[in-house]
Structure 1
């Protein structure tokens, strides 16, 4: 942060105080008897404005101040990654329907699938598309190939589909190092194609890096980027700085925790509140860190500063927690996944910022929308999703207190129902268990009772499953029944059969990627814009007051 010092001549002490209260700035006021000069120290995350005097300079200052507020007013967001390694990948229209139902406004695709981009048209959803790693060599070696890629995947869809960023490759330096030599060229060629189409201001270009590229990440103030990659990283950072883009970083506290052999406490990885004496302290800066995520973000800022890059913002392109793992992954659980992602969302949208940059939140894409059951690797690799392929939530994010709630949150309305496509024989066995050993009162399923009709195993089982789920306090793992049941936010009540937890109308999971509390559910704003016209009126009023003070 910088504290630019400006002089607003001939303005009274009271007017200065009013301006300061309007902008929430830090101030130092010194009155001069001869000029009633007001010295105001504005604290913004922008360039250093030197002393400016008199009439025209004041107006120039006002313009620059407005620009600073634009930068400061960019609301951080929560987005979601959409992977496609599913045995039954939903159709793009189904994906978009889920995004709309959950009011998800920011997504990242791992490619530029035409059908998906067409389905996203006219939705206002902000889309980051990607150059897949397998296409990187061709694009990095040929300007014309990059131009063709932009023509087919960007120009053909924009602005009807709201493409806002392009990620060129993913974790290239650590996954396909043989392509590292063409990475910067690929960035430049894609950007040049955007310039040629006059889209470079609307669409930013960058490349996601693994956080493992940052060495000695704690304490953050001592972090540095792997020097062996400096021939790539330095020109890459120069590119990001010159184009006004951002550093894309993938941060996985789960892996940091797993690889620390007990050094990193689980609560520290999960964003759980820590007493001050349990927080990690950077001895060089005396900054306190209460979670792995903030420490890694600040490590990135410090590492860039070590190379003399101090004004490149960070966006986290992947972060999350698996909900299921192998026997040697005991902390990959529904409860921990819920805790991490809920706390992450709250942390970002509350604009907490990091210890190095308090109040400057880091936009983050949760990994990921769907469980990817065909992804290779351990069980945890297949279980990072918020939903299954049917659109049923793996777990419900509980976000009360962060400005985000479930629909009808006064009743915390979620249900347990039979999964679509479940084997009827397995459903019958689970129903028998629920009404027997599970101690569910299945009397309403008897002939002539309120939930007898329709008389089939699926609807009867849904009632029994939901009753058991609520009897167990909706605890993690109580809506599974050997894989034939799933949590849903749609009320399965019908006719006279009212399910436990029902308030008599359908509910839906609301806004895991909600805008800031000042925006409305209908807003689909472009990145970097000022929301509403209030600031314009404020600036016009201030300009008039300053003009009066100077010239009258």
Structure 2
């Protein structure tokens, strides 16, 4: 009907405003859990942690109903078992969209359909119908007038890139050249994004010691161990960035550009068997906390520095019913009662819109020897109170030089900057408006406490509605709303 046209344009403008905002960190929800909470309880848990983005591996009716009016952005999944039927039958694709997407919009904020999970590397026999399935689902969305709200893509593993390092020479598996070209053409034509499952844990454990553990965990490396692409001379501070960049270079090898990469899965197991010594609570906590900090700085990998890396953590709960190794069952960041598996720096990406408080923190990637010197000086001659970073105290974890130096630097700065104290520490420190407090570790200057020992701030995965960088469709600045209103008024005038 014609009367819906101006509404579509307004929604498109609204989407453009939202997409210009910052990166987010979401979560995956697997359901192979013995004591899986009810759908309503899951939504309550998501809200309690201010999780704004969720990926489902199917289109669970109870969950999609419970998510209505929550503002949580949802990716729904076509299961691997459904891909073949949808790929062979446009009618089946239309029925799937009507049942699992159209029936829940606009109440449930469905933003994308993930078609299968690593289809090309796990069920290659279905590969020939994967791209036809994408096209059929997109056509069904067009028919339902929903293609402007819902994107279609398909998550692929790093196995599709046989040699991801150095990133500049990375290419997709040549045996899938035709399919990958068709996939990229589809993503380009529909303005969708490439879904990547990137696991530095797997890259590290299968690398036979080629890369150091710190590189996989986003921890700074000494200058002598810096990871550098010999062709571009780009420095890679984490395996995560290198994996994302390898994907961009693989896309570029087909002469496509402008297709963003979204990491639909990444994480670290917190428990493993005897042959999985690096699956520990400490490593998992370090990886996830550093991942959140990394994504929240709104930058891309070295080759695409202006494209933020939207990311989904694998996963919300431990799936104890999954087959396979011990680690397969222990990727969750929360227990099913909603409590955290390990201390989580869920607030690292948060900064109040009108915050006047600045914090002095260590630069990621700074030389560790200089950080140690700065830490020693701050806790000694500088007069910082460093009790909180001692073992057993609230800020001991994550137990690394960057986090400990950040706490000491900030305590010194908050006490001394009014009298001329600076945030430099031989070039290893920087100022930020993002509150680095996490869990029960409260930094001096935080709105939650001025003494560094108060209660935990509200947790968040992704920005809250008051924060810059928020990406929920209900979160938009007053300036953007003004533009939206003016545009809507002008359009209605032109239609009368």
Q: What range describes the TM-score normalised by the shorter chain of this pair?
A: 0.7 to 0.9
Alignment partner, residue 152 of structure 1: 99
Alignment partner, residue 367 of structure 1: 314
Alpha-carbon distance, 1:165 to partner: 0.4
CA gap of 1:180–1:288, structure 2 versus 1, over 3 A, is: same
| 3-state DSSP of counterpart to 1:233 | helix
- Structure 2 residue runs without a partner (length 5+): 1-12, 353-389, 399-438, 441-452, 487-496
Question: Retained in 2: the 8 A contact 1:209–1:248?
Answer: yes
Alpha-carbon distance, 1:524 to partner: 6.6
1:418-429 maps to which residues of 2 (within 5 A)?
none
Alpha-carbon distance, 1:530 to partner: 8.5
Alpha-carbon RMSD: 3.1
| 3-state DSSP of counterpart to 2:93 | helix
In the alignment of these two chains, the number of paired residues is 385
Could you list the structure 1 runs, at least 4 aligned residues long, displaced by more than 3 angstroms after superposition: 69-72, 399-405, 470-477, 515-520, 535-541
Question: Retained in 1: the 8 A contact 2:165–2:242?
Answer: yes
Alpha-carbon distance, 1:72 to partner: 7.8
- Structure 1 residue runs without a partner (length 5+): 1-65, 406-469, 478-488, 491-502, 542-552
Question: Retained in 1: the 8 A contact 2:270–2:330?
Answer: yes
Alpha-carbon distance, 1:361 to partner: 1.3
| 3-state DSSP of counterpart to 1:380 | helix
Alignment partner, residue 306 of structure 1: 253
Matched, 1:219 2:163: no
Query: Of 388, 393, 401, which residue of structure 1 is paired with 2:335?
Result: 388
Q: Deviations over 1:70-91 (max 9, x none)?
A: 6982321110000000112111
Give me the TM-score of the superposition, normalised by structure 1: 0.65
Give the greater-gyration-radius structure (CA).
1
| 3-state DSSP of counterpart to 1:330 | coil
Alignment partner, residue 460 of structure 2: 511
- Select between 293-302 and 510-519 the one with higher mean Cα deviation: 510-519
Question: Retained in 1: the 8 A contact 2:18–2:475?
Answer: no
CA gap of 1:95–1:404, structure 2 versus 1, over 3 A, is: farther
Question: Retained in 2: the 8 A contact 1:125–1:524?
Answer: no
Question: Retained in 1: the 8 A contact 2:267–2:314?
Answer: yes
Alignment partner, residue 329 of structure 1: 276
| 3-state DSSP of counterpart to 2:286 | helix
Alignment partner, residue 532 of structure 1: 477
Alpha-carbon distance, 1:538 to partner: 9.1
Matched, 1:86 2:33: yes
| 3-state DSSP of counterpart to 1:225 | coil
Q: Deviations over 1:174-218 (max 9, x none)?
A: 111111011011101110000000100110000000011012211
Question: Retained in 1: the 8 A contact 2:196–2:264?
Answer: yes
Q: Deviations over 1:395-423 (max 9, x none)?
A: 12135664379xxxxxxxxxxxxxxxxxx
Query: Of 171, 177, 194, which residue of structure 1 is paired with 2:141?
Result: 194
| 3-state DSSP of counterpart to 2:320 | coil
Question: Retained in 1: the 8 A contact 2:350–2:467?
Answer: no
CA gap of 1:524–1:211, structure 2 versus 1, over 3 A, is: closer
Task: Tell me how far apart the structure 2 counterparts of residues 265 and 335 of structure 1 sit (CA, whole Å).
Answer: 16
1:471-482 maps to which residues of 2 (within 5 A)?
472-473=392-393
